[in-house]
Amino acid sequence: MEFRISEKYRLEIHWKEVIYEQEGLAKLEGCYFSGPVLKEVEDIKQQDHIQMDFSNQYMIFVPFYYVAKLSWNGAKHKPHIIYLDNVLLENRHINSVPKLNNDDYIVIDTKDHEDAKHQHNLTYPSYLIKSDGGLYNFRR
């Protein structure tokens, strides 16, 4: 499984706690965006979502592509970090793939989401990373 992202386009999602309240839904408490790409971002909307494509990493667990919706309602901009409120991660298979740990994080490749390309790319390639910085390899 390949995992190469130019630092310029790297966006990370971190959280303090993951709560699985219901089928198909995980709540991310203490969630924030960080990474070099934030230098290029003009503004994050207060209420929005992105579609994260984990297909390369999770294809062993689901019979087809695995795209999860990350949504938030509230964003606080600070230098080099954006804190998100009311963050939900949704996918109907979210309870049947390995659960997220509180010290895991997600790395997103935003390369194809500059203004000129964004409308042609509906999802963001995303990867679940262990607390030690290593990529989860579920195929082992």
- pLDDT tens, 1-47? 445 667 788 899 999 999 998 888 999 999 999 999 898 877 789 99
Given this model, what pLDDT does residue 1 score?
42
Q: What is the mean pLDDT of the chain?
A: 82
Q: What whole-number distance in Å separates Cα of residue 118 and Cα of residue 100?
A: 28
Q: What whole-number distance in Å separates Cα of residue 85 and Cα of residue 72?
A: 6
Asked whether residue 138 is assigned to any structural domain, the reply reads no
Asked whether residue 48 is assigned to any structural domain, the reply reads yes
Residue 123 lies in domain: 7-129
Asked whether residue 86 is assigned to any structural domain, the reply reads yes
Amino acid at 126: S
Between strands 105-109 and 17-22, the pairing is unpaired
Confirm if 105 and 13 have CB atoms less than 8 A apart.
yes
Asked whether residue 87 is assigned to any structural domain, the reply reads yes
Between strands 67-73 and 81-84, the pairing is unpaired
Q: What whole-number distance in Å separates Cα of residue 123 and Cα of residue 120?
A: 9
Q: What are the structure tokens assigned to 44, written together?
A: 């994050």
Asked whether residue 1 is assigned to any structural domain, the reply reads no
Asked whether residue 139 is assigned to any structural domain, the reply reads no
Given this model, what pLDDT does residue 116 score?
57
Asked whether residue 41 is assigned to any structural domain, the reply reads yes
Q: What whole-number distance in Å separates Cα of residue 76 and Cα of residue 78?
A: 7
pTM of the model: 0.84
Q: What whole-number distance in Å separates Cα of residue 32 and Cα of residue 85?
A: 9
Least confident span in 1-5, 77-81, 84-88, 97-101: 1-5
Tally of domains in the chain: 1
Q: What whole-number distance in Å separates Cα of residue 28 and Cα of residue 11?
A: 17
Asked whether residue 140 is assigned to any structural domain, the reply reads no
